[in-house]
């Protein structure tokens, strides 16, 4: 990842953390909040491949791990999101993106990411995490994330393309 793109992605991730924690969390009536950071990570993976996706996931997850209301063990979101970003990058994107495949990818990767986070909590014996409590929360969050992702993925795609215009290839 070129330095400029990396800086851009980190900037977007910081903004995503703030939006998720300070803007969306109080606005959304249910306690489950759309995972803005996760969706941005998946979008980066979708647009620039699994290496960048994994990196973005690690950095974004780390930010979410240390941002103030967080109280869980450091590195749990980093782990979950690195996997989600990597998975998003392995999807064969085809020559042109379609919103249907985007939605499917976001849904699947969000489910994996959230489940990995919940499972690490379960394994490490973090308070409040039970399988029964996790399933509805993860399900609702995946729905939120797909809806949010349909808006964010195109935005990230535009942003990344603008940061480093792809060289035109003539066949």
Residues that bind another protein (CB under 8 A): 14, 17-23, 25-27, 29-33, 35, 49-51, 54-55, 57-58, 61-63, 65-76, 78-79, 82-83, 86, 89-90, 92-95, 114, 117-118, 120-121, 124, 126-129, 133-134, 137-138, 141, 164, 166-167, 169
Kindly tell me which of 72 and 112 has the beta carbon lying closer to another protein: 72
Kindly tell me which of 27 and 151 has the beta carbon lying closer to another protein: 27
Q: How far is the CB of 29 from another protein (least distance, A)?
A: 7
Q: How far is the CB of 46 from another protein (least distance, A)?
A: 12
Q: How far is the CB of 38 from another protein (least distance, A)?
A: 9
* Angular region, 49: left φ>0, alpha ψ -120 to 50, beta rest: left
Q: How far is the CB of 96 from another protein (least distance, A)?
A: 10
Q: How far is the CB of 150 from another protein (least distance, A)?
A: 20
d(CA 124, CA 137): 19
User: Are 64 and 111 contacting, i.e. CB atoms less than 8 angstroms apart?
Assistant: no
Angle between helices 131-163 and 99-123 (to 10 degrees): 130
d(CA 76, CA 102): 25
Kindly tell me which of 123 and 155 has the beta carbon lying closer to another protein: 123
Kindly tell me which of 42 and 54 has the beta carbon lying closer to another protein: 54
In this structure, is the dihedral angle defined by the CA atoms of residues 127, 146, 135 and 82, taken in order, positive or negative? negative
d(CA 17, CA 26): 14
Q: Which helix (H) or strand (E) holds 86?
A: helix 76-90
Query: What is the largest distance, in Å, between two alpha-carbon atoms of the chain?
Result: 57
Kindly tell me which of 72 and 154 has the beta carbon lying closer to another protein: 72
């Amino acid at each position: 990842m070129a330095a400029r793109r990396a800086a851009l992605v980190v900037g977007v991730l910081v903004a995503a953390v703030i939006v998720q924690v300070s803007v969306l969390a109080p606005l959304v009536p249910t306690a489950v909040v759309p995972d803005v950071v996760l969706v941005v990570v998946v979008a980066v993976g979708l647009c620039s491949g699994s290496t960048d996706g994994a990196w973005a996931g690690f950095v974004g997850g780390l930010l979410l791990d240390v941002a103030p209301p967080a109280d869980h063990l450091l590195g749990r979101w980093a782990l979950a999101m690195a996997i989600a970003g990597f998975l998003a990058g392995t999807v064969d994107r085809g020559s042109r993106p379609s919103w249907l495949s985007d939605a499917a990818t976001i849904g699947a990767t969000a489910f994996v990411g959230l489940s990995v986070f919940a499972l690490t909590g379960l394994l490490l014996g973090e308070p409040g995490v039970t399988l029964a409590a996790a399933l509805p929360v993860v399900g609702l969050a995946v729905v939120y994330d797909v809806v949010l992702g349909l808006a964010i993925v195109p935005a990230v795609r535009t942003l990344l393309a603008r940061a480093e215009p792809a060289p035109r290839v003539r066949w």
